[in-house]
Structure 1
Amino acid sequence: MPAVMRAAATAERAGVPAVAIGGAGFEGMGRAVGRSLGVGHVPIVSYPGVILTDPTEVFRSKMRDTVAPAVVDALVAGSAAVDDVEDEAEHGPTDVVARGDLDAITDLFEARGWTDGLPIVPPTPERVAAFLDHTRRDPDEVLGVLAPDQRQATVRSVAVNGVMAGCRPPDLPVLLAIVECAADPVFRVQDAGSTPGWEPLVVLSGPVVERLGFHSGTGALRVGRRANTAVGRFLRLYLRNVAGLRIPPGQTDQGAIASTWHVALAEDDAAVRSLGWPSFRADRGFDDADSVVTVQSVVAVSAPIYSGGETAADHLEALTTIFGNAIGPWAYTGLEFGAFHPLLVLGPAVATALAGFGVDKDALRGHLAEHMRVPVRQLQACAWNVGSTSFDLDAAVAAGELDGRYAGTDPDRLVPMVPRAGDIGIVLAGNASRNQSRGFVQNHVQGVPVSRRIEEVT
């Protein structure tokens, strides 16, 4: 629906009256996006059902008998179709919006949609001030504007939501860097409510991990350590309260089923140093002395990848097979949109074994990029089922967007899932006493990895 509303906005700005057509259940999201684009008046006509599950004759009948007449009526009505929904009253940045005991505050915040479904820590002026003591930045400094609600992300609002999420005051510089990542236009936060239901993953690398007590070992992505859990929770809460991404009845988040976790991933620096490998932050272009946060989308997670054996090939085969199984036909999205950044969380013991066999990070990336393959027929089927009926691998090869490895005529030929080895992220974390790794599948141009250096007050 965001793409439809952007197209409608383009037409309206060109002086052409527009009507947006979308699937049933997406009208609320469409109206929110329309308001953010300045075209809240554009009528929205909903297709009654799910297009891709309706047989062709049923689709044609609904379009002829229901959708087409509604489009004509909307165009004839013109300005009568203005969206007159009033925006919720906005409070000032330092207003006290409620008073009462913990239960009363929790109930009020939940009723107003200001929580993630869990109790929050009341953001009292004193608690917010304690957070702001950990930055030299002006509390009203704008870090960016977040869609779909087009609200300004400010230093103060980061502190408020950090308090609510259960973070500690010294965590504020981390939270500011996280929001700067999400506010970067390349991250495309406006697509965080799309139907695949991807989740933003926070990855921390550098001295801040040890200094603020983040956990990178056994159960690295399990709730339990306050630093990881609260900081991970913060981003989802911030996207809800400031960006405006809410599940129905707010309807701006249309994740069909979606997935979630409230834990930030921290890199095991000691394991990285012991191998002499570059850290994740170095891979992202920063110095090892820096503390860096990276935010990226995750749309799927692999099964646990247990690897072992007498040769590097034994480990590589397990990593390739199970990570590749998680990516599978969804790789079409990276091939179609030209961006794909899967992330491998490599167990320290597995990394040590690979290093002993002479396999470093670059060699591992190269092997995965060359050997994680998928039949073209499956890519095309997945694309069609998602609604991307224009996906054309041959056209991408002819245009030079994909190399010769993707050329051919056999629909069952195997092609690489990841065109560029360098786009595969590798983070060392997890139980150092087990031979387990995990793969995380990123969602093409939506939520590409964005990194920022954490500016701590010393």
Structure 2
Amino acid sequence: MIELEKVGRPAVALVSGRFEEDAVASSRAFGMPDLQWVIVPRIYRNLQPELCISQTEEAIDDLIGCLTSSISERNSGIDTVNTRVYEGEDRHDAILKMNEDFILEDLGDGLLLHPPTREAVDQMLAGTCLPADHVVCDMPPGFGLATVEKIAINAVMAGAKPEHLPVVIAAVKGMSKLHKDGGKSLLMSTSPEAPLLVVNGPIGEKIGLNPKSALGPGRDNQVNTIVGRAFALCFRNIGYWYPGLMDMDTIGTTRKFIQCVSENEKMSPWDPLHVDQGFDADESTVTIFVTNGELDLQDQGNHTAEGLLRTLAYGCVFGTRSLQGGKVGIRGGAERLIFMPPDVAQPVGTQGFSKQAAKEFIHENAVGSFGHMIEYMPFEQDGGVRESRVSEDWRWLEQLTHKQRQEITMNIMDSAENCHIVVVGADRAKTACFPSSDGPYTEGIDQYLP
């Protein structure tokens, strides 16, 4: 709608009542705070056709009114206060009052925040060579200006140290380069899409990131947790990624606390991820994946490379393929991020599999029922209405019965390049598989060091 308005075409959106706050935030973030819309009671997706028609007909007069009447200015909702003062019986009491205020305004993650005092922020800024007012990027999904100082403020609130700041800055910058829109459409989805950070190079060990049992809580994962939290707070307070506003996730996920890990390079038989991405081994990087799930893959019997890889391939076969474009075998497949522990990676590597060969084996063997993969997208809606999202390239499937479609087998991924292997984990043979979005992005960290 905003793009139509920008080219001079009057546009009015139909917005479900549950998305009104998101519409306010989105119109503001994307440069048109006075965009008009009409509220309807139900979300159109999965709504019966007759209900779609009836609620649209009831909104026609309001639509015409918005198109023909003058626009009333809408409150921006932006807090322009630069400094806040909190007082209490002692420092602890003042911090609690600050936290109560910040949580009510949804500026935190529900956990206790560290006070971003001027002194604390200045100390944090010593962790980078960049000046405080340097604009790192427009941070998605709301494209707020991510200055170094704003990133530092959120890092302080997360409990980070100055040596953590370059990783957070690089992650913020990298996120803005992911996909053509910084992953905006993914982050604003009603699905549980969430970034995941993988750090490579010397900085991981230097700042204490855990490459072993790296996704859990506790002492060993303190730095993993803090860096991920700092990045998550930047997302909220710079990128406007607030639940119910620009994050419209249906159920939510703990992955939105944002996980940060370091690859277990010392225990890997292969080149690390950042070398695959074109960096030198002695450079430090952070790679951003956007994941929408997690599955534990257990193998408690195989010791051969092929046996271990077949287990992984089988575990990758869940989720969907798109029917929205492309031809058979060309587009629409899934991507998989695999966290492979050393106890799986080493036998696979020592038995002759390069990382590329392992990816190719997984791709070739990750085969399942095509009918199951496309069950979520019927060819026709109730009442004989054709599903507009199904590309003409796939319309031949309409001629098949439901059973015939289920009997077709297809790779869950289009190619081995849709499979990403990172060696992470302790000395146990349990692998994690994450469905992920198209292509990660890797950003160098060294350029942000002091």
TM bucket (normalised to shorter chain) is 0.7 to 0.9
CA–CA distance in structure 1, aligned partners of residues 264 and 81 of structure 2 = 42
Query: Would you say the 8 A contact 1:206–1:288 is kept in 2?
Result: yes
- Residue 375 of structure 2 aligns to a residue whose secondary structure is helix
Structure 2 match to 1:238: 234
Is structure 2 residue 416 aligned with structure 1 residue 421? Answer: yes
TM-score, normalised via structure 1 length: 0.85
Using the TM superposition, give the Cα deviation of residue 330 of structure 1 relative to its aligned residue in structure 2, in angstroms: 5.3
Structure 1 match to 2:224: 228
Query: Would you say the 8 A contact 1:292–1:454 is kept in 2?
Result: yes
AA aligned to 1:228 is: N
Structure 1 window deviating more from structure 2 (38-47 vs 199-208): it is 38-47
Structure 2 match to 1:206: 201
Using the TM superposition, give the Cα deviation of residue 442 of structure 1 relative to its aligned residue in structure 2, in angstroms: 0.8
Structure 1 pair 331/283, CA: closer, same or farther in 2 (3 Å)? Answer: farther
Using the TM superposition, give the Cα deviation of residue 394 of structure 1 relative to its aligned residue in structure 2, in angstroms: 6.0
Structure 2 match to 1:107: 100
Is structure 2 residue 290 aligned with structure 1 residue 297? Answer: yes
CA–CA distance in structure 2, aligned partners of residues 358 and 63 of structure 1 = 61
AA aligned to 1:212 is: I
- Residue 204 of structure 1 aligns to a residue whose secondary structure is strand
Using the TM superposition, give the Cα deviation of residue 160 of structure 1 relative to its aligned residue in structure 2, in angstroms: 0.8
CA–CA distance in structure 2, aligned partners of residues 258 and 333 of structure 1 = 25
Structure 1 pair 54/341, CA: closer, same or farther in 2 (3 Å)? Answer: closer
Structure 1 match to 2:388: 390
- Residue 382 of structure 1 aligns to a residue whose secondary structure is coil
Structure 1 pair 310/232, CA: closer, same or farther in 2 (3 Å)? Answer: closer
User: What does residue range 82-101 of structure 1 map to in structure 2 within 5 Å?
Assistant: 82-92=72-82, 95-96=83-84, 98=86, 100=88, 101=94
Using the TM superposition, give the Cα deviation of residue 296 of structure 1 relative to its aligned residue in structure 2, in angstroms: 1.4
Which of 360, 365, 372 in structure 2 is aligned with 1:371?
365
Deviations 1:196-252 (A, max 9, x none): 1211101111111111111111x210022211011111121111111111113xx22
TM-score, normalised via structure 2 length: 0.86
Using the TM superposition, give the Cα deviation of residue 97 of structure 1 relative to its aligned residue in structure 2, in angstroms: 5.2
User: What does residue range 26-425 of structure 1 map to in structure 2 within 5 Å?
Assistant: 26-64=19-57, 66-76=58-68, 78-80=69-71, 82-92=72-82, 95-96=83-84, 98=86, 100=88, 101-184=94-177, 186=179, 188-191=182-185, 192-217=187-212, 219-224=213-218, 225-248=221-244, 251-261=245-255, 262=257, 263-272=259-268, 275=269, 277-306=270-299, 308-325=301-318, 328-329=319-320, 341-384=335-378, 389-392=387-390, 395=393, 411-412=405-406, 413-425=408-420
Deviations 1:12-49 (A, max 9, x none): 22322111123331122122222233333222123322
AA aligned to 1:91 is: V
Structure 1 pair 293/353, CA: closer, same or farther in 2 (3 Å)? Answer: same
Structure 1 pair 360/148, CA: closer, same or farther in 2 (3 Å)? Answer: closer
- Residue 405 of structure 2 aligns to a residue whose secondary structure is coil
Deviations 1:99-154 (A, max 9, x none): 55221221122222211111101111111111111211111100111245432101
Using the TM superposition, give the Cα deviation of residue 360 of structure 1 relative to its aligned residue in structure 2, in angstroms: 2.1
AA aligned to 1:172 is: L
Query: Would you say the 8 A contact 1:307–1:350 is kept in 2?
Result: no
User: Could you list the runs of 5+ residues in structure 2 that have no partner in the other structure?
Assistant: 89-93
Query: Would you say the 8 A contact 2:108–2:233 is kept in 1?
Result: yes
Structure 1 window deviating more from structure 2 (15-24 vs 198-207): it is 15-24
Structure 1 window deviating more from structure 2 (236-245 vs 369-378): it is 369-378
Structure 1 pair 329/341, CA: closer, same or farther in 2 (3 Å)? Answer: closer
Structure 2 match to 1:451: 442
CA–CA distance in structure 2, aligned partners of residues 424 and 299 of structure 1 = 15
AA aligned to 1:377 is: G
The count of residues paired between Structure 1 and Structure 2 equals 425
Query: Would you say the 8 A contact 2:12–2:63 is kept in 1?
Result: yes
Using the TM superposition, give the Cα deviation of residue 307 of structure 1 relative to its aligned residue in structure 2, in angstroms: 5.2
Structure 1 pair 25/354, CA: closer, same or farther in 2 (3 Å)? Answer: same
User: Could you list the runs of 5+ residues in structure 1 that have no partner in the other structure?
Assistant: 1-7, 399-405
Structure 1 pair 330/256, CA: closer, same or farther in 2 (3 Å)? Answer: farther
Structure 1 pair 204/31, CA: closer, same or farther in 2 (3 Å)? Answer: same
Query: Would you say the 8 A contact 2:335–2:418 is kept in 1?
Result: yes
Structure 1 pair 216/241, CA: closer, same or farther in 2 (3 Å)? Answer: same
CA–CA distance in structure 2, aligned partners of residues 307 and 332 of structure 1 = 36
AA aligned to 1:126 is: E
Identity of aligned residues (%): 25
Structure 1 window deviating more from structure 2 (371-380 vs 203-212): it is 371-380
